[in-house]
Structure 1
Amino acid sequence: MYKLFSLRLKSPAPTALGLFHLTRNKLRSTILDWWYATSMIGYEFSVPEDCLKVVSTIFGAQGSLQSNDFQSLAFSVETATPTDTINTAQFIRDGDTIVSAGGTYELGFFTPEKSRNRYLGIWYGKISVQTAVWVANRETPLNDSSGVVRLTNEGLLVLLNRSGSIIWSSNTSAPARNPVAQLLDSGNLVVKEEGDNNMENSLWQSFDYPGNTLIPGSKLGRNRITGMDWHLTSWKSSDDPSIGNISITLIPGGYPEYAAVEDSNVKYRAGPWNGLGFSGLPRLKPNPIYTFEFVFNDKEIFYRETLVNNSTHWRAVATQNGDLQLLLWMEQTQSWFLYATVNTDNCERYNLCGPNGICSIDHSPRWVSEAQRFEDAGDKKIMVQQEYC
């Protein structure tokens, strides 16, 4: 993280064309480019401290930009140590990151596998394989490394492209006075008022907008007061984090349960909560890795996991084929271990055997359909077991 020197313009920022006409070398172009990219919101920009000596020379020597265009040439100098927080006078460029206090999570720009696009996301900070758990601009990727993230005075996180256009933005639940954005060690990116650590007062948080991954501490369910729906959506592919055709969502009403939905069709169900677990998830039981809870009250309905040991890396991922994979990071092999697949009971696949069908898990993966159970053989009935319904 560079030490940053803040400048504020008295007058509106010139156009990009005018700025580049002013530049005569790479250093000048870089400074002016930083200025233009970040001046789109609030007309503020920052430059590395080692460039301070040339700033006044560059701007003062040009006809259209004089020293009296600035309120000050020495507002503040920020620290160079890694941080988990940015304020409205700071920004994150492609190549820069912020890191949660314990180093567990990191936020910045990344490229998935074979893709050429750039995305703003959160990934694990302490493992050797970059693994994204949240992506901001899933539907609006950058095609170069020009991305810049700013926090506005209104408390909005905005992602700007090369032309200064906003391609992704957060929202806010209340007017902001002195907002900051902080990456917590839970993996939650939170916009809040500086000094206010009450999560219920947060202006915005990434946990309210999960992607394909459920991490410990985040919720899967619904806020019954606000209508906020916390559900998972698969990536289109391992190279493309845009929204796929699978969602893991809560089906409310009566006895709520979770289901995997593919193109509006239920693929499988978890079954209702029985007080200890979900009836259709036999592998969901007490274990040494995480504890789990299901909360059902007037305000919220949600499922949530909590790590037994915070040094463990654990995630649940909605895959493109409709499964929910539970993955555990193994330090010995430096790889993700498939701990379990939630959809292990294929009889929970919705409508698999058709109306009045009978599914026999004892013969999995073979099922018996009511319409196919018997066939005539003279005077007696012979049960026929079909491999598929």
Structure 2
Amino acid sequence: MSILLVLLCCFCLDSGSATDTITSFQPVRDSDYIISNGSAFKLGFFSPVNSSNRYLGIWYDKKSILPTQWVANREKPLKDSSGVLTISEDGNLVILDGQKGILWSSNVTNSVANSSAQLLDSGNLVLRESTTGTIVWESFQHPSNTLLQRMKFGANVRTGEKVKFSSWKSPSDPSIGSFSFGIQLQSFIQIFIWKDSRPFWRSGPWNSRTFIGLPEMYSIYHDGVSLTEDQDGTYSFSFSYVKDSLFHYVITTEGDIRILWNAVKSECDVYGMCGAFGSCNSRSSPICSCLLGFEPKNTKEWNRGNWTSGCVRRTLLSQCAIVNSSIEAIKMDGFLKLKTMKVPDFADSLPAYESFGGLSSTNNEDYCRQQCLENCSCIAYAYDSGTGCMSWTTSLIDIQKFSSGGVDLYIRVAYSELDKVGDVKKVVTISVIIGAIFISICTFLLWRWMAKQKARKKKAMEILSSNRGEAQQNFDKDNLAQVEVQELPQFNVEKLAKATNNFHLSNKVGQGGFGPVYRGTLSDGQEVAVKRLSKASGQGLQEFMNEVVVISKLQHRNLVQLLGCCVEGEEKMLVYEYMPNKSLDAFLFDPHKEILLDWRKRLYIIEGIGRGLLYLHRDSRLRIIHRDLKASNILLDKELNPKISDFGMAKIFRSNEDQANTNRVVGTYGYMSPEYAMEGRFSEKSDVFSFGVLLLEILSGRRNSSFYHNEESLSLLGFAWKLWNASNIVALIDPIIYEPCFEMEILRCIHVGLLCVQEFAKDRPIVSVVISMLKSEIVDLPQPKQPAFIARQIALDTKSSQQRQRKCSDNNVSITMIQGR
């Protein structure tokens, strides 16, 4: 009787290890575990790689190589194997250490003593009241770093509560890391990744089908993503893939969202994916195809992508090739060779033949072939130097085509199928010959066309070189003396005239000192801006050549792109990418459009201008000083990305130069540094000064010149300095962008702007330091000194007022364009 009781207890303990429920009487100790009812997930204690700490976690039961999907005591690991997961007296799930101390708890305030916890097949651990079955807590509402299928993550628009996923600190430490992701509820619903509570990445707004910032995401039917809204104001996202329940998302320790699934490298690694006599190739579409000499067994299912029924022979094999020694088979079965294959399952080993042991692999393959031919049941063979001959007498299953490696597989087919292969080879040969002739003709025609284009381009470059010599006579040691003119795509006048409707006034989008700018559409549909040199221009040839030389050598996302030029006779034109949103000043100083530039957009524009300026000063092949950085020379594309334009005044520095002098002062008053405007000295710090003025304009929403004849202050710089000294710099902020949560960021930018506009160049930071200040990489900022043009502004204002009355400035001050290019 006692032996029977012992066996019964052992049976109960063994059965208990497979339960999916935890009660106060059925705890989970460190050596125990529970498994969900469908055997999808397992819960127990584990140690991460390279760590001896113990944690309670949930992971896939049948794919233990995948990482743990949920961890309970992330911040309080166990130092030994004494941990226990149980139901406490107040009905909460708790993890106890060896001294009965609570390391982790579900912390449910409305729990009852008779609660129980269950691990579901979805991977969700739920805590229920035993009497009503009501769920009072679930792990899906307290996730770790993994988004499982059917798990909802969202936010409540009323309470502000969010379900957020957080990365591990390291692969050996599951405590909360630097990165997290979840839903952000503002004007639009978006998914954000945060790094240390600061935005690190966003998906773009949700448009009811996709996140518009994720072009690779097509629809909810493709990616299985759906959005739901509960009555309590909670918006939740979830995803579901019926095909593969192991598919999930993980936020890594580096802040990436990675997709993990059932650890199969490709669909072709699934056993028998293409059925009998079917071959799988992950690089083909569809991935399954029948072997040569075979056809789908069920054509309708095969065409729908269900390949499990496999393939059957088109032509049956003959009987044994040689019935007896006196009868000769006229048409024998043969073998088709398939290269770099994964051999089928259920291979047989052919008997060894000692006389072949010392021969080459070719002779060994001949031996394998002969052995297979003599066996009427043999339908395929292969040879490998390590395994010897392999043959198959049953259906060929689980065949895969590799890009490299594998072995050559020989499939036995009827003689008529060999003839078809020969016919196919003839067709391929003839097609190749015809194709070669066609390609030769096309190549000849292309050569003729390129020769004509080259001749036309050579002629244009000769004109450019002539103009270059003329321009250099006017100003020595200029850009043209330091670099060679880079060959640009050449446009002819007829093409540009057609694109702009013969330069019709309706296509005119601006007018500058260089000449008019027209919007055009090329024959391929590309929109361009055509800058045409005016014969009456006060700038003209020098600026044209300068811009060709400078910008043709620059490639950066925050610089406007020069697509080509046109030089024919007296016509000289530059062709740029078209900027549909015109220039920054068209938005910043327009009361109807400035509301489109919120703080985040303005900060993005500031950082983009800074990156473009850093490229000009430090990162490009040439060191370039722009000399005319202002709001009207910052163009905006359709996404309001900033691009620096107008390089007609730019100067190239040699590698050993830090500053230069000029007798020809060009630019725009209000943006010019004092040493440049008064003494003709310019350097990188000159552009930094202009950037500082532009920065203060963007933050205040006011032009620097809007303070002329204003008794309160002589300029924006003077006004900002007055507010700074009065400790009231907040009054400078544009009310459109002001929000208390952004105040510190905006004030920091104003501080940086004042540092950029200091009177003496040596006090101003370089662009790389400015960018570090804006990004808060430099925490402590120095106190700014007095800006330029505080005491001297009256004289300059009088002079510039007189000059503004003229149509063209004597010193070539550029004119802000009416519309963007």
Instruction: Output the TM-score relative to the length of structure 2.
Output: 0.32
Aligned residue for 2:262, secondary structure, equals: strand
Distance 1:168 1:289, change over 3 A: farther
Distance 1:332 1:235, change over 3 A: closer
Q: Which residue of 1 aligns with 2:33?
A: 97
Quote the Cα distance in structure 2 between the aligned partners of 1:154 and 1:324.
38
Aligned residue for 1:329, secondary structure, equals: coil
Q: Alpha-carbon deviation of 1:328?
A: 2.2
Q: Establish whether residue 116 from structure 1 lines up as the match of residue 52 from structure 2.
A: yes
Distance 1:134 1:80, change over 3 A: closer
Quote the Cα distance in structure 2 between the aligned partners of 1:226 and 1:265.
21
Alpha-carbon contact 1:289-1:308 (below 8 Å) kept:
no
Alpha-carbon contact 2:210-2:219 (below 8 Å) kept:
no
Alpha-carbon contact 2:17-2:32 (below 8 Å) kept:
no
Alpha-carbon contact 1:151-1:180 (below 8 Å) kept:
yes
Aligned residue for 1:357, secondary structure, equals: helix
Tell me the alpha carbon deviations over residues 19-66 of structure 1, each in whole angstroms, 9 at most, x when there is no partner: xxxxxxxxxxxxxxxxxxxxxxxxxxxxx946xxxxxxxxxxxxxxxx
- Aligned runs of 1:266-277 on 2, under 5 Å? 266-277=199-210
Instruction: Find the partner of 2:258 among 296, 316, 325.
Output: 325
Q: Which has the higher helix share?
A: 2
Tell me the alpha carbon deviations over residues 91-129 of structure 1, each in whole angstroms, 9 at most, x when there is no partner: 111121000011111000011111111100000111140
Alpha-carbon contact 1:170-1:204 (below 8 Å) kept:
yes
Q: Establish whether residue 135 from structure 1 lines up as the match of residue 71 from structure 2.
A: yes
Q: Which residue of 2 aligns with 1:157?
A: 93
Quote the Cα distance in structure 2 between the aligned partners of 1:141 and 1:245.
19
Alpha-carbon contact 1:208-1:228 (below 8 Å) kept:
no
Instruction: Find the partner of 2:606 among 338, 344, 355.
Output: 355
Question: Identity of paired residues, percent?
Answer: 36
Moved more, 285-294 or 180-189: 285-294
Quote the Cα distance in structure 2 between the aligned partners of 1:317 and 1:108.
20
If you compute each CA radius of gyration, which structure gives the higher value, 1 or 2?
2
Q: Which residue of 2 aligns with 1:249?
A: 182
Distance 1:190 1:357, change over 3 A: same
Q: Which residue of 2 aligns with 1:220?
A: 153
Moved more, 323-332 or 273-282: 323-332
Q: Alpha-carbon deviation of 1:175?
A: 3.4
Aligned residue for 2:258, secondary structure, equals: strand
Quote the Cα distance in structure 2 between the aligned partners of 1:294 and 1:231.
16
Distance 1:377 1:168, change over 3 A: same
Aligned residue for 1:95, secondary structure, equals: coil
Q: Alpha-carbon deviation of 1:254?
A: 1.8
Amino acid at match of 1:99: I
Alpha-carbon contact 1:220-1:231 (below 8 Å) kept:
yes
Instruction: Find the partner of 1:284 among 217, 237, 251.
Output: 217
Aligned residue for 1:355, secondary structure, equals: helix
Q: Which residue of 2 aligns with 1:308?
A: 242
Aligned residue for 2:175, secondary structure, equals: strand
Alpha-carbon contact 1:271-1:280 (below 8 Å) kept:
yes
Quote the Cα distance in structure 2 between the aligned partners of 1:192 and 1:155.
9
Quote the Cα distance in structure 2 between the aligned partners of 1:278 and 1:333.
27
Quote the Cα distance in structure 2 between the aligned partners of 1:272 and 1:296.
16
Quote the Cα distance in structure 2 between the aligned partners of 1:145 and 1:130.
23
Aligned residue for 1:234, secondary structure, equals: strand
Amino acid at match of 2:112: A
Aligned residue for 1:330, secondary structure, equals: coil
Quote the Cα distance in structure 2 between the aligned partners of 1:130 and 1:93.
23
Q: Alpha-carbon deviation of 1:371?
A: 6.6
Q: Alpha-carbon deviation of 1:354?
A: 5.1
Aligned residue for 2:51, secondary structure, equals: coil
Q: Which residue of 1 aligns with 2:139?
A: 206
Q: Alpha-carbon deviation of 1:307?
A: 2.1
Amino acid at match of 1:87: T
Q: Establish whether residue 167 from structure 1 lines up as the match of residue 418 from structure 2.
A: no
Alpha-carbon contact 1:251-1:259 (below 8 Å) kept:
yes
Amino acid at match of 1:265: R
Quote the Cα distance in structure 1 between the aligned partners of 2:98 and 2:256.
38
Aligned residue for 1:144, secondary structure, equals: coil
Q: Alpha-carbon deviation of 1:173?
A: 5.1
Tell me the alpha carbon deviations over residues 132-184 of structure 1, each in whole angstroms, 9 at most, x when there is no partner: 00000000011111111111242211111122211111122523253110000
Alpha-carbon contact 2:54-2:77 (below 8 Å) kept:
yes
Quote the Cα distance in structure 2 between the aligned partners of 1:160 and 1:297.
36
Instruction: Find the partner of 1:176 among 108, 112, 117.
Output: 112
Amino acid at match of 1:355: I
Q: Establish whether residue 144 from structure 1 lines up as the match of residue 80 from structure 2.
A: yes
Distance 1:126 1:289, change over 3 A: farther
Q: Which residue of 2 aligns with 1:8?
A: none
Alpha-carbon contact 1:234-1:320 (below 8 Å) kept:
yes
Distance 1:225 1:102, change over 3 A: farther
Quote the Cα distance in structure 2 between the aligned partners of 1:77 and 1:94.
15
Amino acid at match of 2:32: D
Instruction: Find the partner of 1:191 among 123, 127, 144.
Output: 127
Aligned residue for 1:280, secondary structure, equals: coil
Aligned residue for 2:140, secondary structure, equals: helix
Alpha-carbon contact 2:149-2:245 (below 8 Å) kept:
no
Quote the Cα distance in structure 2 between the aligned partners of 1:289 and 1:255.
22
Q: Establish whether residue 232 from structure 1 lines up as the match of residue 168 from structure 2.
A: no
Q: Which residue of 2 aligns with 1:33?
A: none
Q: Which residue of 1 aligns with 2:24?
A: 88
Distance 1:116 1:254, change over 3 A: same
Aligned residue for 1:203, secondary structure, equals: strand
Quote the Cα distance in structure 2 between the aligned partners of 1:316 and 1:373.
42
Alpha-carbon contact 1:106-1:122 (below 8 Å) kept:
yes
Amino acid at match of 1:176: V
Distance 1:143 1:372, change over 3 A: farther
Quote the Cα distance in structure 2 between the aligned partners of 1:355 and 1:195.
61
Q: Which residue of 2 aligns with 1:38?
A: none
Tell me the alpha carbon deviations over residues 295-326 of structure 1, each in whole angstroms, 9 at most, x when there is no partner: 245421111111223x5311111122222112
Aligned residue for 2:150, secondary structure, equals: coil
Moved more, 167-176 or 143-152: 167-176
Q: Alpha-carbon deviation of 1:355?
A: 2.4
Alpha-carbon contact 1:224-1:298 (below 8 Å) kept:
no
Q: Which residue of 2 aligns with 1:13?
A: none
Q: Which residue of 2 aligns with 1:17?
A: none
Quote the Cα distance in structure 2 between the aligned partners of 1:320 and 1:297.
32
Quote the Cα distance in structure 1 between the aligned partners of 2:129 and 2:171.
36
Aligned residue for 1:250, secondary structure, equals: strand
Quote the Cα distance in structure 2 between the aligned partners of 1:302 and 1:234.
20
Report the aligned-residue RMSD.
Answer: 3.6
Instruction: Output the TM-score relative to the length of structure 1.
Output: 0.65
Q: Alpha-carbon deviation of 1:261?
A: 1.0
